[in-house]
Amino acid sequence: MRARPNVDVVLVDAGGSNLGSVRCALRRLGVEAEVSADAGRIRAATHVILPGVGAAAPGMARLRESGLDRLIPTLTQPVLGVCLGMQLLFEASEEGDTACLGVIPARVRRFDGAAPRVPQMGWNRLRIERDDPLLAELAQPAYAYFVHSYAAPVGPWTLASADYGGAFSAMVRRRNFVGMQFHPERSAAPGARLLANFLREPAAVRAGATGT
């Protein structure tokens, strides 16, 4: 499984501790990704990945310090948010009552008392909600590895959901922005397939792309 040739991938340096593991997962697909917080370098990339592990408020503070909170929502190439990076694509997070990037018009909330325990840490099944090129050739059933205490609601942006005391968005899309709440770099073959599919997304926004 290899990415399509001639991709130029930048990992946004927002202080996420999973930068190294995502970079290694991309290397296994034949892609050497650069880590950068430089706006010009990020804007020039064909594909941008926003990783993240930690809390919403420090993550957004790091983006604001470098002006990337203004840049990222304007990007027109494929953008992937991973774990906290996906949550930051939303309008706001209940975690620290944090204003986020505002790409997806919904609020991320903490798991409630129906969840078996918080955080969710381990494998969970992905339930496909609608067709999308990002899900191409994903074998079913597909399981992914999650580590999180906050989750995004299911809505028109949801490509795949998972259940943990109730349904939440496991994968999302709005225009050229996609997100994975789980860690694809730790999700074995399904994660590798999803990363490869992301890297095959055309570098410009697709006409008629799914999402709202």
Positions marked active-site:
83, 183, 185
The one-letter code for the residue type at 182 is: F
Q: Rg (Cα) of the chain, in Å, rounded?
A: 15
Report the interhelical angle of 19-28 vs 188-199 (nearest 10°): 80
Pick from 195, 202, 80: nearest CA to 137: 195
According to DSSP, residue 47 is labeled E
3-state SS assignment for residue 185:
helix
* Pair 82, 52: CB distance under 8 Å: yes
Residues 28 and 50: their CA atoms lie apart, in Å, by: 19
Residues 89 and 96: their CA atoms lie apart, in Å, by: 16
To which residue do tokens 């970079």 refer? 23
Structure tokens belonging to residue 200: 């095959």
Residues 168 and 119: their CA atoms lie apart, in Å, by: 14
3-state SS assignment for residue 38:
coil
